[in-house]
Amino acid sequence: MLGLGSDNDNTASRPEGYIYEVNTNDFEAKVMSASMETPVIVDFWAPWCGPCKQLMPVLEKTVMAAKGEVILAKVNLDENPELAQALRVQSVPTVFAFYGGRPVDAFQGMQPESTIQAFIDKLVQAARANKPEAIDIPETLKAAAEALANKDLQMAQGLYMQILQQDENNAPAYAGLIRTFIAAGVLDQAQSMLENAPERIAGSSELDAVKTALEMAKNAETIDIQSLEQAVEKNPEDHQALIDLAEGQFTVGQKEEAIETVLKSIEINRNWNEDAARKTLLKFFEALGHGDPLTIEGRKKLSSILFS
């Protein structure tokens, strides 16, 4: 829930990432330097200030809705009188907007939510106008995924990097870049990127899926495909043998073959061992990514089997 905690605690339940506390020591880094890239709204407040407690939740709500296009820095007036003096803050709440390393707008006192929204919209529009090179992220993600599916790893990496330069917290692009390293067999680099993912996206579904793909890739050297194929040849309706072969095929990079193998098991008996084959197939889809052409085609075939 957005807003203040108790009268003495202005950090309780506060959102992370786009909203943070600032003091005299880190004002330069968190406001002046940060505003060179992204507009920063600085809210001077005090624990004893009633209007501050009304304004803060509205500011937080509006900033969070901007999804990273603006940042909110909160300054406790009582604890940072030097900052207040430097910016000539005479009453609270006082709100400044910094962009390009300097203050560009300000207001004092409680304001209607519509006024605050207009204040933030103006900042967002100014920042967008200053980035004419902005790319179409959804289209670029689509192009990168196609390049990755076609094993054009250099093209895919370049496209994913373009997206991350514009939005460093874009989970699909970050995950896609890791996938290019997995596809290239550079698993140490993939592991390092996964371990050092930005905090905002570290727990995303995209990175969870990449983790699955990386774990499977690490097991590739221990797979004996020939033995797994022989086990299926001896008994083509042995569900466990089919699933073992499918997992082996997927791990060594025979992803299309793996999907076909596990679909055979589902065709024979979709309910075997509590839907083990279907669960294996869903794991493959997760590792591939939901937008991968093999995932899309595999889901169509699965639906055809299940609903035939």
Neighbours of 289 (CB within 10 A): 20
CA 242 to chain centre: 35
**Which residues are catalytically annotated?**
49, 52
Are the C-beta atoms of residues 214 and 178 closer than 8 Å to each other?
A: yes
How far is it, in rounded angstroms, from Cα 90 to Cα 108? Answer: 9
Burial class from Cβ neighbours inside 10 Å (0-12, 13-18, 19+) for residue 131 reads: exposed
Neighbours of 228 (CB within 10 A): 20
Helix (H, G, I), strand (E, B) or coil at 74: strand
How far is it, in rounded angstroms, from Cα 208 to Cα 212? Answer: 7
